[in-house]
Amino acid sequence: MKPATPKGTRDISPAEMVKRNFIFDTCSNAFQKYGYLQIETPAMENRDILSGKYGDEGDKLIFNILNSGDFLSKVPGESLGNAASKNLVKHISEKALRYDLTVPFARYVVQHQNDITFPFKRYQIQPVWRADRPQKGRYREFCQCDIDVIGSGSLLNELELLQIIEEVLSKLGLEGISIGINNRKILSGLAEKLGLEAQFEDMVIALDKMDKIGIEGVEKELVSRSIHKDSIDSILAYTKITDLKQLRSHLKGTAAEEGIDELEFILGQAHELKLKNVKFDASLARGLDYYTGVIIEVKSDKFPGSICAGGRYDDLTGLFGMKGLSGVGVSFGADRIFDLLEQENLFPEELSKGPTVLFVNFGEAEALYSLKLVSQLREDGISAELYPDPVKLKKQMSYANDRGVTYVALIGSDEITSGKFVLKNMETGEQAAITPEDLLSTLS
């Protein structure tokens, strides 16, 4: 058997791990400073919780978990012999892996509503699983990094999310970012004006693909969804409007006006707070059907697709019977941000540094002598290592190199006797003969 990870999944190596942690720590630190609280939910949810929440396409991508033990015992009498996979699932699988963090969060809020102080500001950084066709940059296990406020309808929440997005992306060193905002109410107003209320969802799903399939693709998609040519022209013309006043004059008397009010407030305040990347984008739609207000999508001019997105949903917890709890949130695409930082060479150099000192192992007595120094360094919080085996110096130096060690300490029996040993700086190649006391005082 050739050992390998399952198709579409991958291991994270130490070098990747420190970079991922840099992203997660940057996010967490910002989230905490803004008063958001972390939660985690189990990898598995009951299938009832997840199914029907992501549309037909999404449902197919959910990983189901086979019931433990004699799972066939729950299959009704005749079902098995001529069973179809689709009908059998419910009998042999009660649980599934989470597909995103939003639905489990809605479940969490409803389940723990009596223990939560609202407005509840939470963040969550966990993997999700989707049985998508694996392709470059798209995995079957990937990490989401979500931040939501639930139980407050105030636009100050949207504003705060925009502040957090700017802060996180700037701390990550990213430039060429645009934070597009739009409002589902404007899209509703547009549908209202064009008499397309019944096809609102078709319109949103088609528009959401603009990035991937271009304006012509969207046009085709709208045609295929039986929207009239004139309406399509109007839709596409509206999505090019950049001026909210102009949009208001066109959509007077529709639901769009409220959406425009909201965007004007947010854009005005974003300006006051010097959030320089926030821009109105009339073509923004977001595919998920639970959004009801402001929608947000963050792009980089150096990278296709969005690196962060979200919006306001007025009734997500309604899915689980708790009505009227408005929320708003965004999700940072940690894996995409990783790829972008890697591509632009933006990860801080110090992330790839190894331990400060490696002590070469010349034999048991020398190693035990060095071990005491290593322990003292560690007590002072300095990362230090003793090579565990007395192998050839060349091999130990090559290990030091691969690990990105800053200094190598060479303590043989002569050095123990003389009380002085060589400390080699692996970056500059410089060497100096020093005492153990020198070492501790230099590095501490």
Q: Is 11 in the site for its own copies (CB under 8 A)?
A: yes
Distance from C-alpha of 287 to C-alpha of 54, rounded to nearest angstrom = 10
Q: How many residues bind its own copies (CB under 8 A)?
A: 106
How are strands ordered across the β-sheet holding 177-183?
A: 37-38, 120-129, 141-150, 327-333, 303-313, 294-300, 177-183, 278-280
**399 interacts with its own copies by CB under 8 A:** yes
- Quick one: which of 328, 248, 241, 250 has its CA closest to 292? 328
Select the residue interacting with its own copies from 56, 69, 198, 392 (CB under 8 A): 69
Tell me which of 39, 210, 294, 411 binds its own copies, using CB under 8 A.
39
If one asks whether residue 84 binds its own copies (CB under 8 A), the answer comes out as yes
Distance CA(121)–CA(239), nearest Å, equals 32
Q: Mask of contacts with its own copies, 344-373, x by CB under 8 A?
A: ----------xx-----x-----xx--xx-
Among 55, 153, 217, 305, binds its own copies (CB under 8 A): 153
Give the nearest distance from C-beta 270 to its own copies in angstroms. 11
**Which 238-277 residues touch its own copies, going by CB under 8 A?**
269, 272-273
Residues 403-408: contacts with CB under 8 Å, at least 24 apart: 403/354, 403/355, 403/358, 404/352, 404/353, 404/354, 405/354, 405/355, 405/356, 405/357, 405/358, 406/353, 406/354, 406/355, 406/356, 406/357, 407/356, 407/357, 407/358, 407/443, 408/357, 408/358, 408/359, 408/360
**Segment lying near its own copies (by CB under 8 A), choices 13-21, 174-182, 233-241, 435-443:** 13-21
CA angle, 268 then 269 then 273, to 5°: 125
- 65 counts as binding its own copies under rule CB under 8 A: yes
Region from 176-184, 216-224, 380-388, 414-422 binding its own copies, contact rule CB under 8 A? 380-388
| Contact range with its own copies by CB under 8 A, out of 152-160, 175-183, 219-227, 304-312 | 152-160
403 part of the interface to its own copies, by CB under 8 A: yes
Q: Is 382 in the site for its own copies (CB under 8 A)?
A: yes
CB of 107 to its own copies, least distance (A): 4
For tokens 């969550």, name the residue: 124
If one asks whether residue 93 binds its own copies (CB under 8 A), the answer comes out as yes
376 forms part of the interface with its own copies (CB under 8 A): no
Torsion-angle region of 137 (φ positive above 0: left; ψ -120 to 50: alpha; else: beta)? left
Within 97-136, the residues that bind its own copies by CB under 8 A are 97, 107-108, 110-112, 115, 117, 119, 121-122, 127, 129, 131
Say how many C-beta atoms besides its own lie within 10 A of residue 52's C-beta: 12
Contact between 182 and its own copies by CB under 8 A: the answer reads no
The single-letter DSSP state of residue 417 is H
Q: How far apart are CA 401 and CA 409, in angstroms?
A: 13
Please, which residue, 85 or 249, has the CB nearer to its own copies?
A: 85
Closest CA to 282 of 247, 239, 234: 239
Tell me if 385 contacts its own copies by CB under 8 A: yes
User: In the 8-state DSSP scheme, what is residue 62?
Assistant: P
Answer for which of 243, 343, 378, 432 binds its own copies (CB under 8 A) is 378
416 binds its own copies (CB under 8 A): no
Task: Assess 49 for contact with its own copies (CB under 8 A).
Answer: yes
